[in-house]
């Protein structure tokens, strides 16, 4: 699981002086953005001229250059003229503006009603033939100016809205360009270029993926010193595909490559190629490779490759498929007629099964690097990285935590320690204790406590016997995983949980282990029928799990009595609609009936073994149920003590350090198993990829699907 974790994400870029960067090393995205933000000189001039023109037109229209003073009536003007108070008059068309004499203003100070010196008035439309004679007699200075024939008012009224709209459009265009969202930028690649020194994640920050690191370090060495390998006749791999479950560190490894490589590193997500416009995806692929070739030698990293690399020709729709066009362009760039020398393509996916075969062939992706779930040793190293900045109490042992978290990915381990720190802070502690880690682990595995659920005494008793049935069968059968904890505290969507801790991580599953595992899962239903002579819906997940394991044994692993050493049926996954929507059948109806009979027989045998085991240990069975009703949670060591007839401690809390013993072979795919009783149709409580699960999830681990994808 590729994200063999490293330290928490850091800033992806560091400040550098301009002297340390060359123009060639700058990101194309950064260049476009800086150009847009700076703007062209012509654009700035146009903007300033448009603003100035608008202001000038508005000033002219609204009286710019007109004489100051109030507007008076024509009658008042004639009155002032007769009183010999007018000094000068300027006539422009119908408009007359002028000023009064100083003597008129002194008279105003002595009580006259005149409160102005300059004025504006208009000639009446019918005219005034005696006006000029009276002004000449009064000695008024008259200045006449021609009236302009150009309709400034109409022009301004028409142009002003257009100018305003142009200004608004210019502002929006500038903003779009500054954000890289211009009309013509939609076909540009969205790949981000990491310059030298901009990524501070290195291989020292990655733990638990030594094999993957070794492969990637070789790629970096080739790009740094290609002559050494070329002298030996070697060529740099065209592509490197990292495969693994979510959370195992694929993207983190890519970031480490960006931090270690002294070559330009382009990073892009597969979904970044897709857009609503036809042809955009292929155009972005071309643009990305063109930029990489300009900066060669370079590395291109495509995250979530399955979003554009799905198998072609299996779609449910018709017509043009933009995704296929994008994939075809990617295939041509990887290994087409035009060679892409010194450009290495890295990609990551957690669904290699749905990738197009043309994409994964040698010559395009020459290497496939599997990044699995971490082993116990790898988990310890990952925990050390995430524990660097966290204070721990003396009772915390990272080795014990690593042993108690089989199947956890690097992301799960980081989340576990983070939840532990949050719990310690909630309780006001100065350091993280083992109790915080245990509670955080239960929270990650089973979910939050459901405080609002109130069960009556009958339901609590039924639930206690159901979980006790799982626990006693698990503790009694020789090939079953040891019990870690039994609880009837509702968590997540489970009403009760029986957790089992594998003694060692397994690569393969023996027939004896699978049969004991099915008996453990049927222990809850067996307890219900033994004690209450009834069955409840709480065993729904148990029954589904047993059926899947039994069918796997018969159809895929050749473990049936009638069909030994033969695998029946071919799975046909629809890569567009999900997994296991259909399963091909290459055998007859009669064989199918025999398969169903054998699956039914295996299931019935598992139920009878559970009933017989509970009958043999009835005393311990009853005591454990009573203890669960009293405490609600019982650690595995107390279950074993009851089974052996020993005294148990009064402490009801599970102690990881006392219960966990991990040795032997280390594997990437094993998971902690657990059985749950739900309220009716209980869905899966925790994803199987977390390495821990409820009853409905353990089928993946315990049927071998986790450790062997082919199931064989």
Per-residue pLDDT reduced to its tens digit, 216-250: 888 888 888 888 888 888 887 888 999 999 988 88
Residue 379: is it exposed, middle or buried by C-beta count within 10 angstroms (0-12/13-18/19+)?
buried
Distances (CA, A) of 57 to 50, 52, 156, 299, 665: 11, 9, 6, 57, 87
Residue 472: is it exposed, middle or buried by C-beta count within 10 angstroms (0-12/13-18/19+)?
buried
Question: In this predicted structure, what is the pLDDT of residue 170?
Answer: 80
Choose the weakest-confidence range: 66-70, 467-471, 536-540, 627-631: 66-70
Q: Minimal CA–CA distance to 672: which of 506, 526, 542, 539?
A: 506
- Give the whole-number percent of the chain exceeding pLDDT 90: 25
My answer on whether 433 and 462 are in the same domain is no
Check whether 251 is labelled as a binding-site residue.
Answer: yes
My answer on whether 402 and 502 are in the same domain is no
Check whether 247 is labelled as a binding-site residue.
Answer: yes
Question: In this predicted structure, what is the pLDDT of residue 32?
Answer: 42
Q: Which residue has the higher pLDDT, 145 or 689?
A: 145
Domain end call among 399, 422, 446: 446
Q: Is the pLDDT of residue 696 over 80?
A: no
d(CA 424, CA 394) in angstroms, rounded, equals 14
Query: Averaged over 594-621, what is the pLDDT?
Result: 95
For residue 127, tell me if it sits in a domain.
yes
Binning pLDDT at 50, 70 and 90, where does residue 357 land? confident
- Give the whole-number percent of the chain exceeding pLDDT 70: 70
The half-sphere exposure of 469 on its side-chain side, counting CA atoms within 13 A, is 34
Q: Is the pLDDT of residue 111 over 90?
A: no
DSSP 142: E
- Of all residues in the chain, what percent are helix, strand and coil, respectively (each to 5)? 45, 15, 40
Q: Minimal CA–CA distance to 248: which of 691, 701, 692, 702?
A: 691
Q: Minimal CA–CA distance to 529: which of 516, 548, 542?
A: 542
d(CA 584, CA 250) in angstroms, rounded, equals 33
My answer on whether 545 and 632 are in the same domain is yes
**Residue that is written with structure tokens 């450790």 in the block:** 707
My answer on whether 268 and 307 are in the same domain is yes
Check whether 691 is labelled as a binding-site residue.
Answer: no
Cis status of the peptide bond prior to 297, with omega within 30 of 0: yes
Query: Averaged over 550-563, what is the pLDDT?
Result: 91
Domain end call among 446, 469, 495: 446
Query: Averaged over 101-120, what is the pLDDT?
Result: 67
Residues 370-406 pLDDT 10s = 999 998 899 999 999 999 889 999 889 998 899 888 8
Query: Averaged over 267-278, what is the pLDDT?
Result: 73
| Backbone phi, psi, residue 56, to 5° | -65, -45
Q: Which residues on adjacent β-strands are paired with residue 250?
A: none
For residue 683, tell me if it sits in a domain.
no
Check whether 687 is labelled as a binding-site residue.
Answer: no
Token digits for 387?
Answer: 């524990």
For residue 97, tell me if it sits in a domain.
yes
Query: Averaged over 597-610, what is the pLDDT?
Result: 96
Q: Which residues on adjacent β-strands are paired with residue 121?
A: 96
My answer on whether 384 and 501 are in the same domain is no
Please give the radius of gyration of the chain, using alpha carbons only, rounded to the nearest integer: 41
Distances (CA, A) of 705 to 407, 474, 493, 700, 709: 13, 21, 24, 5, 5
Choose the weakest-confidence range: 70-74, 76-80, 359-363, 678-682: 678-682
Check whether 246 is labelled as a binding-site residue.
Answer: yes
My answer on whether 463 and 398 are in the same domain is no
Q: Is the pLDDT of residue 711 over 50?
A: no
d(CA 481, CA 518) in angstroms, rounded, equals 12
d(CA 60, CA 155) in angstroms, rounded, equals 11
Check whether 456 is labelled as a binding-site residue.
Answer: no
My answer on whether 366 and 407 are in the same domain is no
Residue 575: is it exposed, middle or buried by C-beta count within 10 angstroms (0-12/13-18/19+)?
middle
My answer on whether 614 and 478 are in the same domain is yes
Query: Averaged over 419-428, what is the pLDDT?
Result: 93
Instruction: Evaluate if pTM is beyond 0.85.
Output: no
My answer on whether 395 and 365 are in the same domain is no
Instruction: Tell me how crowded residue 595 is: count the other CB atoms within 10 A of its CB.
Output: 21
Query: Averaged over 44-60, what is the pLDDT?
Result: 64
For residue 166, tell me if it sits in a domain.
no
Domain end call among 145, 172, 198: 145
Binning pLDDT at 50, 70 and 90, where does residue 660 land? very low
The DSSP annotation for 163-179 comes to HHHHHHHHHHHHHHHHT
Distances (CA, A) of 282 to 182, 308, 427, 439, 618: 19, 11, 54, 50, 69
Query: Averaged over 205-213, what is the pLDDT?
Result: 86
Token digits for 548?
Answer: 């899947």
d(CA 461, CA 93) in angstroms, rounded, equals 106
Provide the greatest CA pair distance for the chain. 139
Question: In this predicted structure, what is the pLDDT of residue 19?
Answer: 38
Binning pLDDT at 50, 70 and 90, where does residue 491 land? confident
For residue 176, tell me if it sits in a domain.
no
Ranked by mean pLDDT, the top range of 55-69, 179-193, 468-482 is: 468-482
For residue 681, tell me if it sits in a domain.
no
My answer on whether 364 and 470 are in the same domain is no
Residues 560-571 pLDDT 10s = 888 888 888 665
Task: Indicate which residues carry an active-site annotation.
Answer: 467
Q: Which residue has the higher pLDDT, 510 or 657?
A: 510
232's CB contacts (< 8 A; 6+ apart) are none
Distances (CA, A) of 217 to 10, 428, 660: 21, 44, 36
273's CB contacts (< 8 A; 6+ apart) are 280, 281, 284, 285, 308, 326
* CATH number, position 78: 3.30.720.210
Question: In this predicted structure, what is the pLDDT of residue 114?
Answer: 56
Q: Minimal CA–CA distance to 238: which of 335, 309, 351?
A: 335
d(CA 484, CA 475) in angstroms, rounded, equals 10
* CATH number, position 555: 1.20.58.760
Question: In this predicted structure, what is the pLDDT of residue 58?
Answer: 62
d(CA 301, CA 254) in angstroms, rounded, equals 7
Question: In this predicted structure, what is the pLDDT of residue 483?
Answer: 93
Q: Is the pLDDT of residue 455 over 50?
A: yes
Question: In this predicted structure, what is the pLDDT of residue 442?
Answer: 86
My answer on whether 397 and 479 are in the same domain is no
Q: Minimal CA–CA distance to 109: which of 99, 97, 117?
A: 117
Q: Is the pLDDT of residue 407 over 90?
A: no
Check whether 43 is labelled as a binding-site residue.
Answer: no
3-state SS class at 411: helix
Domain ranges, residue 433: 377-446
Residues 632-652 pLDDT 10s = 999 999 999 999 988 776 654
Check whether 98 is labelled as a binding-site residue.
Answer: no
| Backbone phi, psi, residue 676, to 5° | -130, 155
My answer on whether 231 and 337 are in the same domain is yes
Binning pLDDT at 50, 70 and 90, where does residue 419 land? very high
Check whether 239 is labelled as a binding-site residue.
Answer: no
Strand 95-100 to 86-92 pairing: antiparallel
Question: In this predicted structure, what is the pLDDT of residue 116?
Answer: 76
Query: Averaged over 179-203, what is the pLDDT?
Result: 60
Question: In this predicted structure, what is the pLDDT of residue 73?
Answer: 87
Token digits for 146?
Answer: 């021609």
Query: Averaged over 530-551, what is the pLDDT?
Result: 93
* CATH number, position 400: 1.10.8.60
Distances (CA, A) of 647 to 33, 349, 640, 653: 73, 52, 10, 16
Check whether 372 is labelled as a binding-site residue.
Answer: no
Query: Averaged over 4-10, what is the pLDDT?
Result: 40
**Overall number of domains in the chain:** 4
- Cα angle: 467, vertex 471, 475; to 5 degrees: 175
- Cα angle: 554, vertex 560, 563; to 5 degrees: 85
Strand 367-370 to 239-243 pairing: parallel
Ranked by mean pLDDT, the top range of 154-168, 408-422, 689-703 is: 408-422
For residue 135, tell me if it sits in a domain.
yes
Average pLDDT value for the chain: 76
Q: Which residue has the higher pLDDT, 131 or 425?
A: 425
Q: Which residues on adjacent β-strands are paired with residue 90?
A: 97, 143
Question: In this predicted structure, what is the pLDDT of residue 54?
Answer: 65
Binning pLDDT at 50, 70 and 90, where does residue 192 land? low
Question: In this predicted structure, what is the pLDDT of residue 413?
Answer: 93
Check whether 709 is labelled as a binding-site residue.
Answer: no
Choose the weakest-confidence range: 36-50, 116-130, 238-252, 427-441: 36-50
């Amino acid at each position: 699981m590729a994200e063999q974790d490293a330290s928490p994400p850091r800033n992806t870029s560091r400040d550098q002086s301009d002297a340390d960067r060359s123009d060639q090393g700058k990101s194309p995205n950064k260049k476009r953005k800086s150009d847009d933000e700076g703007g062209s000189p012509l654009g700035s001039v146009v903007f300033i001229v448009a603003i100035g023109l608008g202001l000038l037109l508005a000033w002219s229209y609204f009286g710019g250059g007109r004489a100051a003073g109030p507007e008076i009536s024509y009658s008042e003007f004639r009155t002032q003229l007769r009183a010999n108070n007018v000094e000068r008059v300027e006539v422009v068309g119908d408009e007359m503006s002028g000023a009064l004499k100083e003597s008129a203003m002194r008279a105003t100070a002595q009580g006259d009603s005149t409160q102005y010196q300059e004025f504006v008035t208009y000639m009446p439309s019918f005219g005034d033939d005696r006006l000029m004679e009276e002004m000449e007699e009064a000695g008024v200075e008259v200045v006449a100016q021609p009236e302009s024939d150009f309709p400034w008012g109409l022009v301004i009224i028409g142009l002003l809205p257009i100018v305003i709209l142009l200004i608004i459009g210019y502002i929006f265009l500038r903003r779009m360009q500054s954000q890289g969202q211009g009309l013509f930028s939609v076909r540009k690649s969205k790949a981000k270029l990491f310059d030298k020194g901009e990524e501070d994640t290195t291989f020292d920050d990655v733990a638990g993926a030594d094999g993957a690191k070794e492969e990637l370090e070789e790629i970096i060495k080739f790009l740094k010193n290609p002559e050494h390998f070329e002298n030996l006749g070697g060529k740099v791999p065209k592509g490197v595909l990292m495969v693994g479950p979510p959370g195992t560190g694929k993207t983190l490894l890519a970031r480490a490559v960006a931090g270690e490589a002294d070559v330009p590193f382009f990073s892009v997500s597969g979904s970044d190629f897709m857009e609503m416009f036809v042809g955009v995806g292929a155009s972005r692929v071309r643009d990305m490779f063109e930029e990489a070739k300009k900066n060669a030698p370079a590395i291109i990293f495509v995250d979530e490759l399955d979003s554009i690399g799905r198998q072609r020709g299996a779609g449910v729709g018709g017509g043009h498929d933009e995704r296929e066009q994008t994939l075809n362009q990617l295939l041509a760039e990887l290994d087409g007629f035009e060679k892409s020398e010194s450009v290495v393509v890295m990609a990551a996916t957690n669904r290699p099964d749905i990738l197009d075969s043309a994409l994964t062939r040698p010559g395009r992706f020459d290497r496939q690097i599997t990044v699995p779930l971490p082993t116990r040793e790898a988990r310890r190293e990952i925990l050390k990285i995430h524990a660097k900045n966290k204070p721990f109490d003396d009772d915390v042992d990272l080795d014990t935590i690593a042993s108690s978290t089989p199947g956890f990915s690097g992301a799960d381990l980081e989340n576990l320690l983070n939840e532990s720190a949050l719990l310690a802070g909630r309780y006001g502690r100065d350091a993280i204790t083992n109790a915080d880690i245990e509670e955080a682990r239960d929270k990650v595995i089973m979910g939050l406590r459901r405080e609002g659920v109130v069960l009556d005494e009958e339901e609590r008793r039924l639930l206690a016997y159901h979980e006790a049935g799982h626990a006693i069968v698990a503790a009694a059968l020789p090939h079953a995983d040891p019990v870690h904890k039994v609880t009837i505290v509702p968590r997540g969507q489970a009403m009760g949980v029986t957790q089992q801790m594998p003694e060692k991580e397994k690569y393969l599953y023996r027939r004896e282990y699978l049969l004991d595992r099915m008996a453990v899962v049927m222990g809850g239903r067996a307890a219900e029928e033994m004690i209450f002579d009834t069955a409840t819906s709480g065993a729904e997940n148990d029954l589904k799990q047993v059926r899947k394991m039994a069918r796997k044994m018969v159809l895929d692993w050749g473990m049936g009595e009638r069909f030994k050493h033969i695998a029946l049926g071919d799975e046909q996954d629809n890569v567009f609609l999900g997994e296991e929507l259909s399963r091909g059948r290459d055998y007859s109806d009669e064989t199918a009936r025999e398969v169903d009979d054998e699956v039914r027989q295996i299931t019935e045998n598992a139920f009878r073994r559970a009933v017989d085991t509970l009958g043999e240990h009835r005393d311990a069975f009853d005591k454990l149920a009573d203890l669960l009703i009293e405490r609600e949670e019982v650690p595995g060591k107390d279950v074993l003590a009851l089974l052996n007839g020993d005294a148990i401690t009064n402490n009801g809390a599970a102690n990881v350090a006392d219960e966990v013993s991990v040795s032997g072979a280390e594997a990437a795919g094993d998971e902690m198993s657990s059985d749950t009783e739900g309220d009716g149709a209980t869905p899966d409580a925790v994803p199987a990829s977390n390495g821990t699960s409820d009853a409905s999830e353990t089928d993946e681990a315990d049927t071998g699907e986790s450790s062997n994808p082919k199931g064989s």
